[in-house]
Amino acid sequence: MRRWRIMASGFLLASQLSGCVQPTQPEALFQLMPESAAHRAMQTRLFETKDERELLSASAAVLQDLGFQVEESVREVGFLRAAKERSAREHGQDLSRFFIWIFSTPLLFLQQPPFMMPVDLHQKIAATLVARPLNTESTRQEIRIVFYRVVWKGEGMSGNQQIAPGEQRMEMVRDPGLYQQFFAKLSKAVFLEAYTL
């Protein structure tokens, strides 16, 4: 009876950990989501100026002020890419890892090692910026910046299967505060008002 309870709790834990992940169909990859317009509005501002080069230089300075290092700049096409590396450790992940390990320790009675969830260790936050004129006189410039991050996970264990460190995932940074901070600093740097679309 005791063995049956241990197996039942192990199956329950495994079902909770596995989750329901639906694979993305290829035709769905290019579909606009309902929130796409809101994200674009958050990432884009208009500036009334003819000086695209000054706008790019000020953007690079603002990114450096935010801790980024400019990795690539192509002024001829109005492109700029910058990145910074940070720790991705979060207190909540370590706490979740501990509780999952505690709840999976009954697997020891079945001569299985407990589940050790991998946690985020390191991240690279990147910014890609594009500046382009909106009219033929080049008096209005559009700046669009997208922040995203690549996160590397640490090692974990599932049964006798070792989860190697180094697994990574990429995700968009959707924090409106970061975009507002960037555009506020850029407006001050070029002494111009930023307009939304």
Longest Cα–Cα distance of the chain, Å, equals 82
Backbone angles phi, psi at 94, to 5 degrees: -65, -40
Do the domain assignments include residue 156? yes
The distance from CA 161 to its chain's CA centroid, rounded to whole angstroms, is: 28
Do the domain assignments include residue 65? yes
Do the domain assignments include residue 39? no
Global confidence as pTM? 0.67
Mean pLDDT for 117-143 is: 86
- What are the pLDDT digits (tens) for 39-94? 899 999 999 988 888 999 999 999 999 999 999 999 999 999 999 997 766 666 66
Find the domain containing 93 and state its range: 52-195
What residues have CB less than 8 Å from 166, skipping those under 6 apart?
Answer: 152, 153
134 close to 141: Cβ distance less than 8 angstroms: yes
Do the domain assignments include residue 126? yes
d(CA 159, CA 114): 7
Closest CA to 174 of 39, 72, 66: 39
What residues have CB less than 8 Å from 89, skipping those under 6 apart?
Answer: 119, 120, 121
* Matching residue, tokens 């910074």: 84
- What are the pLDDT digits (tens) for 151-187? 887 766 555 555 666 667 788 999 999 999 999 999 9
d(CA 53, CA 74): 10
Do the domain assignments include residue 18? no
Do the domain assignments include residue 13? no
Q: Three-state DSSP class for 61? A: helix
Do the domain assignments include residue 30? no
Do the domain assignments include residue 144? yes
Q: How many domains does the chain have?
A: 1
